[in-house]
A and B are shown apart, each in its own frame.
Chain A
Amino acid sequence: MDDCPPGVGHKVEELTTMFTEKTLQEVREGKKRWEKEVEKARRQKPERKQRFSTGSDSEIKGIYTPDDIKELDFARDIGYPGIFPFTRGCQPTMYRGREWTFRMFSGMGSAEDTNRRWHHLLKEGETGLSTAFDFPTLMGYDTDSPRARGECGRCGVAIDTLRDFEILTHGIPLDGVTTSMTINPPALVLWAMYLGVADKSGINWDRIGGTIQNDMLKEFIAQKTFMLPPEPSIRLVSDAVEFGTEHVPLWNTISISGYHIREAGSTAIQELAFTLADGIAYVQDIIERKKLDVDSFAPRLSFFFNSHLDFFEEIAKFRAARRMWARIMRDRFKAKNPRSWWMRFHTQTAGCSLTAQQPYNNIVRTTTEALAAVLGGTQSLHTNALDETLALPSEFAATIALRTQQVIADEIGVTNAIDPLAGSYFVESLTSQLEEKAWEYISKIDDMGGMLAAIDRGFPQMEIADAAYHYQKQIDDAEKVVVGVNKYVTEKETPAEILKVDERVEERQIARLKEVKAARDNRKVAQILNDLRAASRTDKNLMPYVIAAVKEYATEQEICDVWRDIFGAYRDPGYY
């Protein structure tokens, strides 16, 4: 369809090769000589494996040469940072101009507990905030809901009303630091709370920056914090984008995510393809539903990728992602503003790569994953703590994770040259391969009618289920090594202190919720919820109603229940 695979749409430009025929001849002759040496070496001792492959099972050869990238055109495919197709980075100076944001995902227990951790991380040098909410909050339930029993504060912070949010952000200058919030079905509610706190602090919305994840497509595919069926879910997503375009210019209103797709078990290629396909679906939907010009909102779309174990495959993935999105935005959606072609992304090191056994090894895994993200040109980075497989991060472990970024940024010299691996025969070849395979997936999804249709028939979900099962079999068969689990196994050690969420958090939160409900103007809340209900049945932008509701201390669930009542709840189809 309208995607732009390499070569198409560039008929007018003259393609130049990077290597002369003479060079390529020499390369090929040299390779034959090397292959003879390889044969000799193999006869002495066979290679360690029959087949070497990336973490995602793509075969890797022993050697890469100019011959492997002979079809690449420097200007068309590699180029310069800040210039289409941005393979080497979206900003022209990258880390020489500005380091990536050290943005540590954190949240636990009560708003007070999390505020304390936030202040600690800021003091230790993180440069952006990132909010982890508990499951009731993620799913649009209040702490006093029967569905929330036992869940309060366990995997993130409990937020029921604006009151909690005020405590959460206490002492944080909203015009001095940007905040990301990992929140999906109730994204409008939490964003409204943020805007509400800004109002109370006298800070104009055009001076606050941040991100709401607000990416429902990947919820149905992977993260599974869903609430409403797909169509109304996407409507809410687009309401946030439209509102941000008009009122909160520095806000990233979607974080189109691959992280969770990868965590659910996908390959790197699937992560790349499904994320971009989700992006295509959002751009298409917003143009059609909101009648917005693509350049009016595209610059504020952001992305979020995983950085998994295979070092080079991940670097190649990030570079391919930028190049592909640039081509999609310019050539498929005809965006004119170069900022619309940029792919800005946050990265998180792969939680699923960490082990419960010998957890200190996780520091090493997180370090190499972080390094891959940096060499891949990420704008923002979260590094996992060593104890993530056991509990929420302890302060000790979270600080080491932050220091990991700081050492990479300041001590090892990888931020001096921009996209230092460009031109590597191996890395460029891998980048092109990933791109090619991802286009195949995107084409397939286009043929199905787009991502919503693909989700409806279970396509990405089953691809992920197959990949996850295959990955586990590889580990069980020791085809994939996991140090401490199927190789180098020893008596396990446990870190000195694992974070424990106070058992009383839940009852205190319920008590606070009761207080807030008693103290607020309940008639006003009821009125505003009615207005929200009426507006939700039309195609009005719902953000103003949600903002009005949170300011009167309507609870998150009260707002979400309005939508559940109208649109129904989505049931997990249970693919495996």
Chain B
Amino acid sequence: MANSGRKIRILVAKPGLDGHDRGARVIARAFRDAGFEVVYTGLHQTPEQIVAAALQEDVDLIGLSCLSGAHMHLFGRVIELLKENKVDDVKVIVGGIIPEEDIPRLKKLGIEEVFLPGTSLEKIVGWVRDNVGLRG
């Protein structure tokens, strides 16, 4: 899907107070090794900060990670803020500790895909290659 030589830019972000960052960091590195451009926000980002970073960095994809159980509120808020900022061409994928029964609700909110514990890096990178194009 990449056509201009520009790399796909991905924002990997940790919303909320959750400090469990092993997964997000490993995925950020996997994205980098896969040839994407990665911006990792680090921990303790508010949804506002995440959306601001996504806009500023002009990313093609946002990846959110939450293992603290606060995902419904935090992911929902990011989606809300993207809408408020009229961003409709940046997909959001998420991972963390997310009960399966929350997945349909998250997708309804606008989350593109949910990657649960045990998902391989290959699968996630593959998903990005298959589903994310360069914007504009």
Interface residues of A (CB under 8 A from B): 135-136, 138-139, 141, 146-151, 154-155, 223-225, 263-265, 352, 355-357, 389-392, 465, 468-469, 472-473, 475-476, 482, 484-486, 494, 498, 501, 571-576
Contact = CB atoms under 8 A, between A and B. Distances in A.
A550 B61 CA distance: 45
A141 B18 CA distance: 13
Interface in B92-136: 97, 99-100, 116-118, 120-122
Contact of A573 (B24, B42, B74, B120): B42
A476 B42 contact: no
B44 interface: yes
A146 B118 CA distance: 32
B22 A148 contact: no
B70 A498 contact: no
Contacts of B117: 355-356, 389
B36 interface: no
A148 B26 contact: no
Given A150-B16, A150-B72, A155-B68, A224 B43 contact: yes
A247 B117 CA distance: 45
A482 B118 CA distance: 9
23 contacts: A135-B16, A135-B19, A138-B19, A147-B17, A149-B70, A150-B72, A151-B16, A154-B70, A223-B19, A263-B22, A265-B22, A352-B22, A355-B118, A391-B97, A469-B26, A476-B121, A476-B122, A484-B118, A485-B118, A571-B42, A572-B43, A574-B40, A574-B41
Interface of A, helix, strand, loop or mixed by DSSP: loop
Contacts of A571: 42
B37 interface: no
Contacts of B26: 265, 468-469, 472, 576
Contact of A494 (B16, B19, B40, B100): B100
Contacts of B74: 150
A146 B49 CA distance: 13
Given A263-B22, A355-B117, 14 more contacts: A135-B17, A141-B17, A149-B73, A224-B20, A224-B21, A357-B118, A389-B117, A468-B22, A468-B26, A469-B25, A472-B26, A573-B42, A574-B42, A576-B24
Nearest to A146: B46
A136 B18 CA distance: 9
B95 to A, nearest CB: 11
A150 B47 CA distance: 12
Given A139-B17, A263-B22, A472-B26, A390 B73 contact: no
B35 interface: no
A154 B22 contact: no
B42 A135 contact: no
Interface pairs A-B: 9 shortest CB-CB: A150-B73, A154-B69, A574-B42, A224-B19, A572-B42, A576-B25, A135-B17, A150-B70, A572-B43
Nearest to A389: B117
Given A135-B17, A136-B17, A473 B121 contact: yes
Nearest to B25: A576
A85 to B, nearest CB: 33
A151 B68 contact: yes
A135 B122 CA distance: 31
Contact of B118 (A150, A154, A356): A356
Contact of A575 (B19, B25, B70, B100): B25
* Interface residue range, chain B: 35 or more
B44 A572 contact: yes
Q: Counting chain A CB atoms within 10 Å of each CB, which of B28, B46, B68 scores highest?
A: B68
Contacts of B122: 476
A472 B33 CA distance: 13
B72 to A, nearest CB: 7
Nearest to B69: A154
B17 A264 contact: no
Most chain-B CB neighbours within 10 Å: which of A224, A473, A484? A224
B12 to A, nearest CB: 8
Contacts of B69: 151, 154-155, 391-392, 501
Nearest to B16: A151
Given A571-B42, A576-B40, A465 B70 contact: no
A470 to B, nearest CB: 10
Nearest to A225: B19
Contact of A390 (B29, B44, B99): B99
Contacts of A154: 68-70
Contacts of B67: 155
B120 A476 contact: yes
A468 B20 CA distance: 13
Nearest to B73: A150
Nearest to A574: B42
Nearest to B117: A356
Contacts of B28: 576
A307 B42 CA distance: 28
Contacts of A572: 21, 42-44
B25 A465 contact: yes
A389 B69 CA distance: 11
Nearest to A573: B42
Nearest to A264: B22
A498 B118 CA distance: 18
B33 to A, nearest CB: 9
Contacts of A151: 16-17, 68-70, 73
B113 to A, nearest CB: 16
A392 B97 CA distance: 10
Contact of A135 (B30, B68, B121): B68
Nearest to A352: B22
Contacts of B72: 150
A472 B122 CA distance: 11
